[in-house]
A and B are shown apart, each in its own frame.
Chain A
Amino acid sequence: MGTSAGGTDMSLENPGDLESPVLAIDPLLDDPKTRIIVCCGSGGVGKTTTAAALGVRAAERGRKCVVLTIDPARRLAQSMGLSELDNTPRPVTDIDESAGGTLHAMMLDMKRTFDEVVLQHADPERARAILDNPFYQSLSAGFAGTQEYMAMEKLGQLRALDAWNLIIVDTPPSRSALDFLDAPQRLGSFLDGKFIKLLMAPAKVGGRAGMKFLNVGMSMMTGVLSKVMGAHLLGDVQTFIAAMDTMFGGFRKRADATYKLLQAPGTAFLVVAAPERDALREAAYFVERLAAERMPLAGLVLNRVHGSGAPQLTAERALAAAQALEEPRENLVDGGIVDREAGKADSVADGTDDGTDPKTPAEAADDMTIPPEQRLAAGLLRLHAERMRVVARERRTRDRFVSVHPEVPMVDVAALPGDVHDLDGLRSIGERLAGDHPAAA
């Protein structure tokens, strides 16, 4: 799939602004060659909601789809009918299946995924030894980092099951953006490392030829480790590593396979962001990193974009008009103040563009000589001025990204006033993703 395939449309929108190719969501979802969609992005940009909305839309357009979420907000999970943490894909009911699609959803349970891997790769006796090891129990229950490994492991499993033709993955809220991409390789380099061999058993190392350094340093090392870690802990770790030894090969092979799966045609990465400085900086990092790893980027989903139904009225003009309405001593006659007053107030508004307007609505409200409809109109105008400032700010932030990455297809998703609680909410986000709703809310 990737940038060149059916997921993008080279037509342009909003002539006059910096332009990106439009990210066309429906062709991406409809293309039978799209098998995996990975949503990544920094925390708090609506990544999980986007993944869920894509799942609902894909299913209702005829795909057999499964959404793998990681640590979703409880209400979002409930909106898909998932009430508790469960490591198995569950059918989402109330999906319109008339197009032949279905939707399953699941939440990643790290410990159970890890346990499954152990049970699958080790013989029963050894598996028991691993599962009972206190060091393993701590490691598997979800320290930072384990989540990334297990998310990729689960993705591999879902793909291997071949029960769905589209898998949508929400990535963990990683400490650093693309930890999940590093996970397989990091695991690999660790498994090949000398430290593992050292920990496994000093006796074994003694038998190896040509490892003089290790032999010489060995007694000192084990002594040091035992001193640092305490004999109990060292023992637990050694038992753990020894028990894991047999399954390391399989582990590593799977990690490599998952990494290749992510690079393969059929996978599409969507970077999710919001039109804010930090979120878009992270998004730029993702875009660059994905390119460096030769991962297929489909485009950028820009969530929570504000628009206005009256873009022709500038913030400055709206503020000037609001001020005119709040000045009772000016005898306002229909149409009488148009040009001169607006021009004068404009310059005042310019000087106070940081948001400290001389007259707050509350102060204005104290002034009882202002008729209520003028007060209301002034309030509406101030609200509009604020909205237009937000629109301009978001546009600047977005333009900065587009200047650096003009090749990245993009779709704007209009901001919703509240959070999503149900399938209808997800459907409405899906419509916005597909461009059925103009960004102007």
Chain B
Amino acid sequence: MSPQQSTPTRLHIVTGKGGTGKTTVAAALALALAAEGRRTLLIEVEGRQGIAQVFETGALPYEERKIAVAPGGGEVRALAIDPELALLDYLDMFYKLGRAGRALKKLGAIDFATTVAPGLRDVLLTGKACEAVRRKDNAGWRAYDAVVMDAPPTGRITRFLNVNDEVAGLARIGPIYNQAQAVMRVLKSTETAVHLVTLLEEMPVQETVDGVAELRAAGLPVGAVVVNMLRPVLLDDADLESAANGRRTAVAKALSQAGLGGARKGGQAERLVDPLLAQAHEHAQRVLLERRERAEIATLGLPTYELELRGEGVDLGGLYRLADSLRKQGMTGGES
């Protein structure tokens, strides 16, 4: 189904237009991977504490901590990256700059790097994710089998991931150059996949199509499309056809038979007919539109997974069900 079978994906980057539920999908994917027995890290980069909300816990610190246990015992750890702390971390790791790092902070250099020159923020965020992917313990085992990133939205994703190319171009030589190149190597490798979350609506699908084209042009590996919040189709084609033909009298009679009042003109059942047919008409329009959008997604030639709308929003139980659904559909690449 996908090229993922040869090299299992280790870095899953989940993007999507605002409002498509990418944080929920990223969380569900992390749970699904953990359910396969993989040590999984879920990373948040936008400082919104969306992961904490999805898992119904308090705000996450800048620290990898266990956030959920998957069926079968695998666990998901989560990390909300704080760009400021990540920068100090980075300075410390590469340059052993404990004291100098603090002095830089005092000078406002950290502020500069993380807010005023926001490109550097993206460097730190992608750098931290790649560090987690590459990290090994003393015995040489990988710290994580899979890392899932709840990434910036589709409109910004290519620039976000490509920031290190830009930085490498700016620095030309030296440690920043080397670090930037190393990050780009991970991001462009076959171990990475950028997944796009969409709804079956025009704008999100259009943005997905544009996003895929941009990612491909930049040489970044595109993974799958996840169609989220799929609404149920409650009337089939034949029904929609009869509804369109407006068989008012027959419908009024049936409604009356079901005990909803009189079918005569002005009767309770009769008065229901127009609004119900109007709703059916809207439904028909939506089904048609969704079919068109689905065809549009199919032209991308990417593995596509679908998640149903959960009316009340996704609670913790719902999240496990979404994870299960992704796993059954084969998104984790394991046996289904």
Please list the residues of chain A having a beta carbon within 8 angstroms of any beta carbon in chain B: 42-45, 71, 73-76, 134-135, 138-139, 142-146, 173, 175-176, 186-187, 189-190, 193-196, 198, 217, 220-221, 224-225, 227-233, 236, 274, 276-279, 308-310, 313, 317, 321-322, 324-325, 332-335, 337-339, 341-342, 355, 361-362, 365, 371-384, 386-387, 389-390, 393, 417-419, 441
Q: A193, A310, A380 — which one has the most chain B CB atoms within 10 A of its CB?
A: A380
Q: How far is the CB of B297 from chain A (nearest CB, A)?
A: 16
- Please name 16 pairs of A and B residues whose Cβ atoms are closer than 8 Å in the assembled complex, sorted by A: A71-B155, A143-B159, A144-B121, A176-B47, A193-B112, A194-B107, A231-B174, A309-B274, A325-B258, A337-B258, A341-B259, A342-B259, A376-B250, A377-B254, A380-B279, A418-B286
Contact B234 A379 (CB under 8 A): yes
Give A339 to B261 CA distance when docked, in angstroms.
11
Bound complex: CA A383 to CA B287 (Å):
13
Q: How many A-B residue pairs have CB under 8 A?
A: 252
- Tell me if B316 counts as interface (CB < 8 A to partner A): no
| Contact in complex: A230, B173 (CB < 8 Å) | yes
Q: Which residues of A contact B255 (CB under 8 A)?
A: 321, 377, 381
Chain A residue contacts of B173, Cβ below 8 A: 230, 232
Q: When A and B form their complex, which 9 residue pairs have the shortest distance between CB atoms, in order from nearest?
A: A43-B18, A44-B19, A230-B174, A309-B275, A377-B254, A145-B118, A321-B258, A193-B108, A373-B250
> Of all chain A residues, which has the CB nearest B260?
A321
8 Å CB contact of A310 from B18, B108, B155, B276: B276
Given the known inter-chain contacts A228-B91, A228-B176, please indicate yes or no for A418 contacting B251, CB distance below 8 A: no
Alpha-carbon gap, A156 to B251, bound state (A): 59
CB pair A381 B18 closer than 8 Å: no
Residues of chain B within 8 A of A233, CB atoms compared: 170-172, 174, 176
Please, which residues of chain B bring their CB within 8 A of the CB of A220? 100, 103
User: CB distance A376 to B174 under 8 Å?
Assistant: no
Cα A332 to Cα B139 in complex, Å, equals 75
**0/1 per residue, B91-107, Cβ < 8 Å to A?**
10011010010011001
- Cα of A73 to Cα of B19 in the assembled complex, Å: 15
CA distance A338 to B234 in the complex (A): 25
Contacts of B279 in A (CB 8 A): 308-309, 380, 383-384, 387
B230 within 8 A of A: no
Contact of A175 among B46, B201, B207, B250 (CB under 8 A): B46
Q: Does B242 sit within 8 A of A, measured CB to CB?
A: yes
Query: Looking at the complex, which one of A324, A361, A377 makes contact with B234 (CB distance below 8 Å)?
Result: A361
In the complex formed, the residue of B with least CB distance to A365 is B236
Q: CB < 8 Å: which of B48, B95, B117, B277 contacts A224?
A: B95
Docked Cα-Cα span, A304 to B162, in Å, equals 35
Given that A195-B107, A232-B173, A372-B242 are contacting pairs, would A380 and B277 also be in contact in the complex, using a CB cutoff of 8 Å?
yes
- 5 more A-B contacts (CB under 8 A) besides A144-B119, A380-B243? A44-B17, A190-B108, A190-B115, A217-B103, A310-B276
